[in-house]
Chain A
Amino acid sequence: MAVILSLPLLTGAAPYPAYNYSWLNREVYPMLPAAVPDGLLIGADLGVGAFRNPRDFRFGPDGLIYMADTGNHRILVLDDALNLLRVVDGFSHNGAWETFSQPEGVFAEADGTLYVADTQNERVVVLNADGSLRLLMDGVVLTGSGLTFRPQKIGVDNAGRIYTVSSGSTEGLIQLTAEGSFVRFFGSNRVRPNPIEVMYRFFLTRRQRQAREQFVPTEYSNLHIDEMGFIYATTRNVRSGQVRRLNALGNDVLRHDGLGLDVYGDLAVTPRNYNRVAQFVSVTADGDGNIYALDNATGKAFVYDASGALLFMFGGRGDQVGLFADPQAIAEKNGTIYVLDAGRSNVTIYRLSDFGEKILLANHLYRLGEFDKSLEPWSEVARMSSTYTEAYYYLGWTYFGRKEYAEAMAYFRLGHGPNGYSRAFGELRDQWLRDHFAWLALGLAAGLAGLAVFTKIKRKKTRGG
């Protein structure tokens, strides 16, 4: 039933400039594209009419795709070959048929239980696999906050705890019990006032102060829950910490090892993107813990490794296939990446290029600690695109893992890893010291003896003179 517009002309061609950064001034280094557009999915392909302002697209644990076709007030369920399985556009409640109103988020559990963030109806609808209503969570009171509960995104962890993103809520994610009562705000952002701004405000009148941007904690925009129960979350309107991995306590446990530390998004300082704040709207993670985050401001999708270092990026804003107008959701399965564009009401299917596959394979083996096996793909990545400095960095750690320290040092210099370089150097030095200990000890003893004799002679001389 589904017909994907195949685009043979576009295969292998990337409509965006692919680059990474130099460590020093974050200058742009061109590199091979790691992902290329492979097709488009529009509503007509599924025979259900055009999508209208779709807002959510994610895989369930059952391997099916759940898509919130927000403007058409319905949820679509597709299989991974993009065939339409069913359309959920309402449910029977107390004998009456009820529909959704602008549902912006959807989540499915392994047994087919469907959670719908029915945004404009200000409720969460929980449906059984057969489409019957299990639970209706409406009238949720957010204790301690004057806001109404208007769920936009939703996720459920292994223990049945429900996390939602609610429109306008700046206190954090909203945690609900399985029965739908409010527990707490989760993973709250702390407000960090800027001292200069505080001083500046001191001199302003009340009306001027009100006209300025308010100090409010940042807003969560989306979440993704992995098999281990970690919550990947994105925030908007902030310049750092936009991507987080939250544990059950709500603490960010992502290592933020990237070039920009906890600054995510486009790091390149160019006149065009200078001072532009990344607006991350969607995030997902694969089996290796790689993080796929979508920035609405630049239209770029960023792929970070499990410690938050950038692997590659793709996409952008524009009119060609593979570029987006208003990207809202990202999902990944087996090296295929889906980006949902609310502005164009379509889904762009991205496929990893050979280069991108090599990067993820090498990264996978490296994360497993299989240094003998990860050596070859990392070398291949470096050979394919010599400006991809991350490959040298990981080759450094690979050789370090293999205890080949001299090679490790050479690669750390190429890939800018002073810490790794220092550790490899330390290992080499200690080995040298151990190997030459006898000679060193002998030399030291001889030196001390010589000194003793010398001072004695000198003292004798001065006494004599």
Chain B
Amino acid sequence: MFKTARFAFYIIFHPIDGFWELKHHKEKSFGAANAILALLCLMNVVSIQFSSYHYGLLDRESNNILLNATSFILPLLAWTVLNWALSTLLEGKATMKQIWVQSVYSLAPLLLSMPVLLVLSYMMTLGEQPFFVLIQVFAILWCAFLFLFGNMTIQDYTMSKTVVMALFTLLGIAAAIFIGIILFSTFQQLITFITTVVTEIRYMP
């Protein structure tokens, strides 16, 4: 476990080699990835709840662990499924598991930045906020970079193809959300219909 955690750090600074190893040595990284994700969700809640008063302007009272976790897990899940679904059609080499692990590992800079920002929030005034934002933006950009390079490595794509695939995946996610909403509302109507019929039958004179 400790070894895989160290591996996450290794990936942050050696993305290409790291993701190559991830693909070919098939380390037992699935559990480690899930552990990282769990830690990320936890850290997110912690930093909303415990950052200093002047930085933590988000509503602490409506801080919902499940909702926060979902906001990480659901997009990752959608990305994994749709990226896999599209890449299998277009000569992608990665399995769904590999995409999942790679995506989660790519978020490692975010995980690393969170405790740093949490501590900094107790050391900085709002006037020094640009430094705070700088770290945040840097972490997000680094994540995006890892995301693309990781995907490129495990899919064995060229950079341009990776970017195009990423765009298509995003389109696919939008389509999936759309279909999901339609399905949801259709089922809702179906259920209402059934319950109405049942009620009518029950109270039939």
A residues whose Cβ falls under 8 Å from a Cβ of B = 24, 409, 412-413, 418-419, 421-423, 425-426, 429
Return the chain B residue nearest A419 by Cβ: B126
Checking B53, B57, B59, B127 against A426 with a beta-carbon cut-off of 8 angstroms, the contacting residue is B127
B158 close to chain A: CB less than 8 A: no
| Inter-subunit contact A422/B59 (CB<8 Å) | no
Knowing A413-B53, A418-B53, A418-B54, the reply to whether A425 touches B125 (Cβ < 8 A) is: yes
Return the chain B residue nearest A423 by Cβ: B125
Binary CB contact string for chain B from 123 to 162 against chain A (1 if under 8 A, 0 otherwise): 1011100000000000000000000000000000000000
Return the chain A residue nearest B128 by Cβ: A426
22 A-B pairs within 8 Å (CB atoms) are namely A24-B59, A409-B53, A412-B53, A413-B53, A418-B54, A418-B57, A419-B54, A419-B126, A421-B53, A421-B54, A422-B54, A422-B125, A422-B126, A422-B127, A423-B125, A423-B126, A423-B127, A425-B125, A426-B125, A426-B127, A429-B123, A429-B125
B residues near A418, Cβ cutoff 8 Å: 53-54, 57, 126
Minimum distance in angstroms from A327 CB to a CB of chain B: 36
Minimum distance in angstroms from A32 CB to a CB of chain B: 26
B residues near A422, Cβ cutoff 8 Å: 54, 125-127
Extra contacts besides A418-B54, A422-B126 (4): CB < 8 Å: A409-B53, A422-B54, A423-B126, A426-B125
Q: How many residues of B contact A (CB 8 A)?
A: 9
Q: Which parts of B13-27 form the interface with A (CB within 8 Å)?
A: none
Q: How distant is the Cα of A421 from the Cα of B53 in the complex, in angstroms?
A: 8
Q: Which parts of B107-132 form the interface with A (CB within 8 Å)?
A: 123, 125-127
Minimum distance in angstroms from B189 CB to a CB of chain A: 28
A residues near B127, Cβ cutoff 8 Å: 422-423, 426
Q: How distant is the Cα of A421 from the Cα of B123 in the complex, in angstroms?
A: 13
| Inter-subunit contact B59/A425 (CB<8 Å) | no
Return the chain A residue nearest B62 by Cβ: A24
Binary CB contact string for chain B from 80 to 117 against chain A (1 if under 8 A, 0 otherwise): 00000000000000000000000000000000000000
Minimum distance in angstroms from A436 CB to a CB of chain B: 14
Main secondary structure of the interface of A (DSSP, over half): helix
B residues near A419, Cβ cutoff 8 Å: 54, 126
Q: How distant is the Cα of A409 from the Cα of B57 in the complex, in angstroms?
A: 15
B residues whose Cβ falls under 8 Å from a Cβ of A = 52-54, 57, 59, 123, 125-127
A residues near B126, Cβ cutoff 8 Å: 418-419, 422-423
- In this complex, the member of B53, B54, B59 whose beta carbon has the largest number of chain A beta carbons within 10 angstroms is B54
Q: How distant is the Cα of A421 from the Cα of B54 in the complex, in angstroms?
A: 6
B residues near A413, Cβ cutoff 8 Å: 53
Q: Which 10 A-B pairs have the closest CB atoms?
A: A426-B125, A422-B126, A422-B54, A418-B54, A422-B125, A421-B54, A413-B53, A421-B53, A418-B57, A425-B125
Return the chain B residue nearest A23 by Cβ: B57
Q: How distant is the Cα of A227 from the Cα of B164 in the complex, in angstroms?
A: 67
Minimum distance in angstroms from A413 CB to a CB of chain B: 6
Minimum distance in angstroms from B171 CB to a CB of chain A: 24
Return the chain B residue nearest A417 by Cβ: B54
Q: How distant is the Cα of A412 from the Cα of B123 in the complex, in angstroms?
A: 18
Q: How distant is the Cα of A412 from the Cα of B52 in the complex, in angstroms?
A: 13
Return the chain A residue nearest B61 by Cβ: A24
B residues near A423, Cβ cutoff 8 Å: 125-127
A residues near B57, Cβ cutoff 8 Å: 418
B residues near A421, Cβ cutoff 8 Å: 53-54
Q: How distant is the Cα of A88 from the Cα of B53 in the complex, in angstroms?
A: 61
- In this complex, the member of A24, A418, A423 whose beta carbon has the largest number of chain B beta carbons within 10 angstroms is A418
A residues near B54, Cβ cutoff 8 Å: 418-419, 421-422, 425
A residues near B123, Cβ cutoff 8 Å: 429
Q: How distant is the Cα of A425 from the Cα of B125 in the complex, in angstroms?
A: 7
Return the chain B residue nearest A425 by Cβ: B125
Q: How distant is the Cα of A419 from the Cα of B55 in the complex, in angstroms?
A: 10
Q: How distant is the Cα of A423 from the Cα of B59 in the complex, in angstroms?
A: 21
B residues near A24, Cβ cutoff 8 Å: 59
Minimum distance in angstroms from A447 CB to a CB of chain B: 17
Q: How distant is the Cα of A413 from the Cα of B54 in the complex, in angstroms?
A: 9
Minimum distance in angstroms from B85 CB to a CB of chain A: 35
Q: How distant is the Cα of A425 from the Cα of B126 in the complex, in angstroms?
A: 10
Minimum distance in angstroms from B61 CB to a CB of chain A: 9
Return the chain B residue nearest A409 by Cβ: B53
Return the chain A residue nearest B57 by Cβ: A418
Return the chain B residue nearest A25 by Cβ: B59
- In this complex, the member of B57, B59, B126 whose beta carbon has the largest number of chain A beta carbons within 10 angstroms is B126
Q: How distant is the Cα of A391 from the Cα of B126 in the complex, in angstroms?
A: 23
Minimum distance in angstroms from B141 CB to a CB of chain A: 27
Q: How distant is the Cα of A426 from the Cα of B121 in the complex, in angstroms?
A: 12
Return the chain B residue nearest A420 by Cβ: B54
Q: How distant is the Cα of A409 from the Cα of B125 in the complex, in angstroms?
A: 12
Q: How distant is the Cα of A413 from the Cα of B56 in the complex, in angstroms?
A: 12
